[in-house]
Each structure stands twice: as structure tokens, then as C-alpha cells.
A and B are shown apart, each in its own frame.
Chain A
Amino acid sequence: DTEVTQTPKHLVMGMTNKKSLKCEQHMGHRAMYWYKQKAKKPPELMFVYSYEKLSINESVPSRFSPECPNSSLLNLHLHALQPEDSALYLCASSQLPRYLPVNTEAFFGQGTRLTVV
């Protein structure tokens, strides 16, 4: 199984809502990532989890709250978002770079297309 599964595929939420994005992988990868991608722009790194611990937070506003309940799951909790947060949110997983030269390709999910109204 070389898939990363993200749910939901689409989400529309109001600025006062609380919602969560979910991501799951069963490849035994110990690094998991959240990226945000605006139209016609590259994916922008938000968070990195290594061995279920948050290792990188790219100065993301606190209205985005990541969680890694176990080695297969990654959540992104959303609260009080702004319309400019509307984007495609991509989850990815990989082996950790320290295992070079083993292939550390990142596998991406299909993404959640989020619209904040």
C-alpha cells in the first residue's frame, strides 16, 4: 500500500467553525508533513512530524493546530480561519532523510480543498 489518504476531499467552513483534516498512511513512514498550496504556487511547508513528535513548525498561525495520534495518522485542526486560508492542504509522508542514501521520496495525498467563507 503506497497511498496517503486524506479526508475530506473538499471542505467549506465559516470563519467561526472548527473542523479537522485527516491523513493516514500505512507505509511505516516515520516522517509526516502538512503543506498548504495556493493556486499556481508551489506547496508551502507548514509542519513536520518525526516519530510522532512535532519537529518543524514553519511559523504557522495558531489557528492551525496539528496532531499526530500515532505513526499512521496525522490531523490538522482548524479554528477561526480567514478567507485567505482557502487553499489545497496536502499531507505527505516519507522515510526520514537521515536514512540517506535510501530513497526518501515523499508520498502525497490527493489533498483537501478548503474554502473559508
Chain B
Amino acid sequence: GQQVMQIPQYQHVQEGEDFTTYCNSSTTLSNIQWYKQRPGGHPVFLIQLVKSGEVKKQKRLTFQFGEAKKNSSLHITATQTTDVGTYFCADNTDKLIFGTGTRLQVFP
């Protein structure tokens, strides 16, 4: 069946360090979305990627869609304590299926 895997499962970083989470699909994606879920909160939309090789930036966050549209990444530069949470990619090809998620902990 449809699977969207993310690595790593957990990441602990010192504030100021960079962070990257990778998302891999077993099938080609028409588009991919990224969400952030704070502890005790609900998923909040970050961005949508549609085109092969697309790169989008939001301040310290950089999102990339692979050339083959089967993988994606989220990179955070100089993490802050406010970045704490779980980051999910989601396959939005015909229904919104969440990846396994990467939980980020940032130590001050």
C-alpha cells in the first residue's frame, strides 16, 4: 500500500544547529505537503510542493521536492526552541496521507 517514510524518527539538536528531515515515498507523488505539529497541538500546514525539483524557502526553512517526485526534504537553518515539534510530510496525490514524522527537540 501507499507508504510515506521519514527519517530520522527523532532528532535532538542544540539551539543554533541545523536540522534536516527526509521524506520518501514508494510511489510518484503529484504533490507533497509539509505540516508541523507542536506537542499537544494539531497539524499546521507549512507548504505545498508541486513541481519536480522545486525548492521553496520560508525564512529559515527550505523545502525541496525531488526530481523524480518520490522524495522531499525540509531543512531548518539555525534552529530555535520555537522549532520544537513533529514535522510531517504528507502525500496529497488523491488523499492526504501523512508520513511517519520526525520529532525535533531543540536544547537551549
Contact = CB atoms under 8 A, between A and B. Distances in A.
A71 interface: no
B42 A56 contact: no
Interface residues on A, range: 20 to 34
A25 interface: no
Chain B interface mostly helix, strand, loop or mixed? loop
Interface in A89-114: 90, 92, 94, 97, 100-101, 103-111
A48 interface: yes
Given A45-B97, A56-B95, A90 B45 contact: no
Interface residues on B, range: 20 to 34
B50 A101 contact: yes
Contacts of A105: 33, 45, 48
A94 B96 contact: yes
A45 B96 contact: yes
Nearest to B51: A101
Contacts of A108: 42-44
A33 B42 contact: no
Interface centre among A41, A43, A48 (most CB of B within 10 A): A43
Closest 8 pairs between A and B when the two form their complex, measured CB to CB: A105-B45, A42-B98, A108-B42, A108-B43, A42-B101, A43-B98, A110-B42, A111-B42
